[in-house]
Chain A
Amino acid sequence: MSEELLRVENLHADVEEKEILKGINLVVNKGETHVLMGPNGAGKSTLDNCIMGNPEYKVTEGKILFGGEDITRLKADARARKGIFMSFQAPQEVPGVTMEDFLRVCKKNLTGENIRYFAFHKELAATMKALDMDDSYASRYLNVGFSGGEKKKAEIVQMLTLNPTFAMLDETDSGLDVDAVRVVSEGIRRFKTDENSLLIITHNTKILEDLKVDFVHVLYDGKIIKTGGPELVDYINENGFAELIREGE
């Protein structure tokens, strides 16, 4: 039997006093890749943010368990230290801090170990090369002056460097050209092992082509209205969400 990593139970959440999530139930086991799809405004990003611990999203009911531990009230940094990672749709710019320095500090903080400068530099350069990203970006201020696509790639560089147990990718493929989607997809495939899990929000199924998807969930109006296997992606590609929404109502 697979080992449970994340359990979301009857999760209700408000943003600016408006209820967005209306009772989400989700279990992600170790080694699984889950895909979250749904029309705009369904609550996909809200779910990611609730799992990551964004203080702007208020959990009003239900709970989130990670590795069997209730993390519903933990702050984002404590969740990150437990192995949760989120790739942001709109990553923040951090002027004054280079990408390499930032990642070294984060890695040291997450692992509690001293990071050897040259080994880290070499590893980071290799990761960036694999993502077709010029390693000069490592010495630039994080995300400052990066194009939309470079910011998304930089998020994947962060994921590969920090090596979380559970990674959520929030529309990482949006804003990427076809070649970049392929490179990023390859990066995600490289990250994935039997020991970690993924939750991917996407509208673009190209990013899933190289990945073994275990479950697909359709979110609508704050609830998961359908869960299926990878075949559900093809169904949605052909038919959209309308029929599934009708069935769910």
Chain B
Amino acid sequence: MGEQNILKVNPLPTLTWNHLMLNFANLPLESGSQVKADIPSEFDGIETGMGEEFVSFVENHAAAVRVIRAGKGQDLGVIRDENAGTSSEVILIDAGEDSQVTFYSHASEKACPGTQMTRLVKVIARAGARVTVIQSQTLGDDVMAADDFGAVVGDEARVHLIQAELGGKAAFAGGCAALKGYKADFTEETIYFGDGSRRLDFSYVTRHTGKKTTTSILASGALFGSSDKVYRGSMDFIHGCSKSKGREAENVLLFSKEARNRSIPLILCDEEDVDGQHAASIGKINKDLMYYLQSRGLTESQARQLAVESRFNPVIDEIPDESVRQEIHASLERRMNLD
């Protein structure tokens, strides 16, 4: 057993009332042997969603470090994370000009032998690069899971992040994109599933500094049992990022009176000529939809499962591996039948 650390993670960019207990989250992690990862200097200082304490912890305890470099105009195709599920790993992606990289990491219950799993991905997307990062997990109920992401997005580069947090004792996840280039674009999609007493805690931040930058942050989730979720989505329009646009939206389905849902959409604006929008939909499944599905012979639980999966499927369908998609569907089916 290692030493227990309590890390302050998922900080809000601007603090709100302390008594709401939403300014940050406490993440308990055990520290194993200290292994200082060899991080190339160009990745220093990239802001992530979960924050400095988490980055420092993972970089100092990394069991696996991988650097992926795409040269100018190079298409690396789809890269699979062979170490997914290890206690602590760091992935660093330097996507050269006009290059393309898709990286996915799926941690299943079988793949994770320990009681905690932390992943950190940092991305440098240079001008015109296209980078997609997918972090998904269907971990067992005894595992503490944390997925963090940070990117610097250059001129006309596009970065797409998917996080699917569907298991674990608790799941913490975050993402941050610094949109520095002209017309830099960041899209982020999160799906989460809370059952039992799972705690879910998220923080996403976009920093717009380049002109005509665009972001889209979307989250869809379902909460069962006494699960407890906090979602922070922050868009920061910094002076000079004129004609930038950002939108964030969250859809939550609540299946239990004991489930707790808190969402904090935040738009910080120091530039007049921008367009920022947020929307949230929180509630039960539309009863007309349930009736429609049941009239076709689906039981209440099948209809409920279909309604949840129908929200998740557009995101799950983006995972470029059929076996992972099937594993996720099987995990969700099992969990919804257990409820």
Contact = CB atoms under 8 A, between A and B. Distances in A.
Do A and B truly interact?
A: yes
A136 interface: no
A71 to B, nearest CB: 13
A56 B287 contact: yes
Interface stretch (A72-80, A119-127, A171-179, A211-219): A72-80
A6 B291 CA distance: 21
Interface stretch (A14-22, A91-99, A185-193): A91-99
28 contacts: A52-B295, A53-B294, A53-B295, A54-B291, A55-B287, A55-B291, A76-B294, A76-B295, A77-B294, A77-B295, A77-B298, A80-B294, A80-B295, A91-B292, A92-B288, A92-B292, A94-B293, A95-B310, A96-B310, A96-B314, A97-B306, A97-B309, A106-B296, A106-B297, A109-B298, A141-B310, A158-B296, A162-B297
Sorted from nearest, which 9 A-B pairs have the closest CB atoms?
Answer: A96-B310, A96-B313, A80-B297, A92-B292, A76-B294, A77-B294, A106-B296, A110-B297, A97-B310
A88 interface: yes
Interface string A190-230: 00000000000000000000000000000000000000000
Contacts of A75: 294, 300
A118 B300 CA distance: 28
A158 B295 CA distance: 11
A53 B290 CA distance: 12
Interface string B289-333: 101111111111011001001111110000000000000000000
Interface in A97-132: 97, 102, 105-106, 109-110
Contacts of B293: 92, 94
B311 to A, nearest CB: 6
B311 A76 contact: no
A77 B313 contact: no
Categorize the interface residue count of chain A.
20 to 34
Interface of B: 286-289, 291-300, 302-303, 306, 309-314
Given A53-B294, A110-B297, 13 more contacts: A53-B295, A54-B291, A54-B295, A77-B295, A77-B298, A80-B294, A80-B295, A80-B296, A81-B297, A94-B310, A95-B311, A106-B296, A106-B297
Contacts of A92: 286, 288-289, 292-293
A158 B297 CA distance: 12
A86 interface: yes
A80 B291 CA distance: 11
A88 B292 contact: yes
Give the one of B288, B298, B303 with max A CB within 10 A.
Answer: B298
B309 A96 contact: yes
A197 to B, nearest CB: 17
Contacts of A79: 295
Contacts of A162: 296-297
Interface in A144-164: 158, 162
Contacts of B300: 75, 77
